[in-house]
Amino acid sequence: MKIICASTSAIEQATWCELLAAALPHAEVFPWQDDGPACGADVAVVWRPPAALFARERELRVVFNLGAGVDALLNLPDLPDDVLIVRLEDAGMAAQMAEYVAHYVVRASRHFNEYEALQKARRWQPLSEIDRRQWPIGIMGMGVLGTSVARAMAGLDYPVAGWSRSGRRLEGVQTYAGRDALPAFLARTRVLVNLLPLTPGTEDILCRETLSQLLPDSHLINLGRGAHLVEEDLPPLLDSGHMAGAMLDVFRVEPLPAEHPFWTHPRIGITPHVAGVTLRRETIEQIGTKILAIMRGETITGVVVRERGY
Ligand code: NAP
Ligand code: GLV
């Protein structure tokens, strides 16, 4: 088996190649080179690869994406129709997403921001007790990652609802399915967590129209993709007081440009696309296991349905 690996830098590529070669000693592993010849690879392992890869490597049967979201990959012009696209399933990201949301919600609902200010003023002042009914959480996208967040937050006794295309069910979580159910889902939600894939059906879904349907004093946690959010719609909703805060991990342009107004907005928190990082050990284990299964002629999970876009 021949594997070609393409990522965002030569160092990244070299690291992944080394790990793949160690996990699959019978495979030949090649790093992508801009001016190199075709190596006749049957498998590609990629994160944001150059479009030229698919024009040059014509024998590819499977492409493994080194992330959960395949939006960038599916938009590449020369991606052949008959190549299987496989995304990461959890691989250690589900726990990271649950931690991220729990951190934000617990901090807000248990007054930790206020206690920080009180400490600075040397004031001993217990604030109001928590009423979890005041913190209904709504998760858009109930896939591998959304389900993990829902389970974690329901486990902390917050009221949780999940919205998905097909209405995926999870014990202890209210289910909403499809566009018709979106208004009812938003109207009961104070903390909106976005974990949708970016597709033509979900682009711009976080906008004035949807965000203004949330409960008063609402919060947005965007962990999906930057293009889910209509950026100019967010500050007016925060400034008017309808929304209390936003925590953003993904942006239309990454890295977020230094002059972007989000950097200095007092109610916006920013992290640099690290909510669910691709963990090397878990990822290599998952991809290695799937490559061996494919070689044995077995079917694997995590195959992207191209027509759905995820
Ligand atoms: P997944 O398992 O494929 O789940 C996707 C979920 O979204 C499913 O529940 C699906 O509904 C739902 N969905 C898709 N299109 C929809 C639509 N038009 N309307 C309503 N629901 C829709 O994906 P995942 O592994 O959880 O990952 C989700 C996304 O997280 C990725 O695509 C990526 O963009 C993002 N991500 C971000 C980071 C980060 O660091 N910020 C890291 C990893 C992933 P069904 O259940 O009905 O199919
Ligand atoms: C990261 O954003 C991913 O899609 O895994």
Instruction: For the chain, give the percent of residues with pLDDT over 70.
Output: 100
Q: Model confidence over 33-86: pLDDT tens digits?
A: 999 999 999 999 999 999 999 999 999 999 999 999 999 999 998 899 999 999
pLDDT given at position 58: 95
Q: Model confidence over 84-139: pLDDT tens digits?
A: 999 999 999 999 999 999 999 999 999 999 999 999 999 999 999 999 999 999 99
pLDDT given at position 134: 98
Q: Quick one: 145 and 67 in the same domain?
A: no
Q: What is the CATH number of the domain that holds 241?
A: 3.40.50.720
Q: Quick one: 135 and 223 in the same domain?
A: yes
Ligand nearest to the CA of 304: 1
Identify the residues whose C-beta falls under 6 Å from ligand 1.
Answer: 67-69, 93, 141-146, 164-166, 168, 195-199, 201-202, 223-225, 249-250, 273, 275-276, 310
Specify whether the CB–CB gap between 279 and 91 falls below 8 A: yes
By residue count, the chain amounts to 310
CA of 197 to the centre of ligand 2 (A): 9
Q: Model confidence over 227-273: pLDDT tens digits?
A: 999 999 999 999 999 999 999 999 999 999 999 999 999 999 999 99
pLDDT given at position 287: 98
Catalytic (active site) residue 273: yes
Kindly state the average pLDDT of the residues 22-37: 96
Q: Quick one: 194 and 287 in the same domain?
A: no
For ligand 2, mutation pick of 93, 199, 248, 280 (most atoms within 8 Å of CB)? 93
- Give the residue whose CA is nearest to atom 1 of ligand 2: 67
Q: Quick one: 185 and 253 in the same domain?
A: yes
CA of 176 to the centre of ligand 1 (A): 15
Mean of the per-residue pLDDT values for the chain? 97
Kindly state the average pLDDT of the residues 211-223: 98
Domain containing residue 208: 93-270
Q: Quick one: 206 and 78 in the same domain?
A: no
Q: Quick one: 40 and 187 in the same domain?
A: no
Long-range contacts at 38-43 (CB < 8 A, ≥ 24 apart): 39/2, 39/4, 40/2, 41/2, 41/3, 41/4, 42/1, 42/2, 42/3, 43/1, 43/2, 43/3, 43/4, 43/291
Per the residue annotation, which of 190, 219, 225, 228 is the catalytic one? Answer: 225
Instruction: With respect to residue 213, please indicate whether it lies within any of the assigned structural domains.
Output: yes
Instruction: With respect to residue 209, please indicate whether it lies within any of the assigned structural domains.
Output: yes
Specify whether the CB–CB gap between 239 and 261 falls below 8 A: no
How many structural domains is the chain composed of? Answer: 2
Per the residue annotation, which of 265, 273, 280, 306 is the catalytic one? Answer: 273
pLDDT given at position 157: 98
Q: Quick one: 264 and 189 in the same domain?
A: yes
Instruction: With respect to residue 304, please indicate whether it lies within any of the assigned structural domains.
Output: no
Ligand nearest to the CA of 145: 1
Q: If you compute the radius of gyration of the chain from its CA atoms, what whole number of angstroms results?
A: 21
Q: How far is CA 68 from the centre of its chain?
A: 7
With CA atoms as reference, report the closest residue to 48 among 30, 71, 15, 73. 73
0.85 surpassed by pTM: yes
With CA atoms as reference, report the closest residue to 5 among 68, 55, 69, 53. 53
300: pLDDT confidence band, cut at 50, 70 and 90?
very high
108 CB-near residues (< 8 Å, 6+ apart): 135, 191, 219, 244, 245
Ligand nearest to the CA of 89: 1
Any idea which residue has 């007092």 for tokens?
A: 266
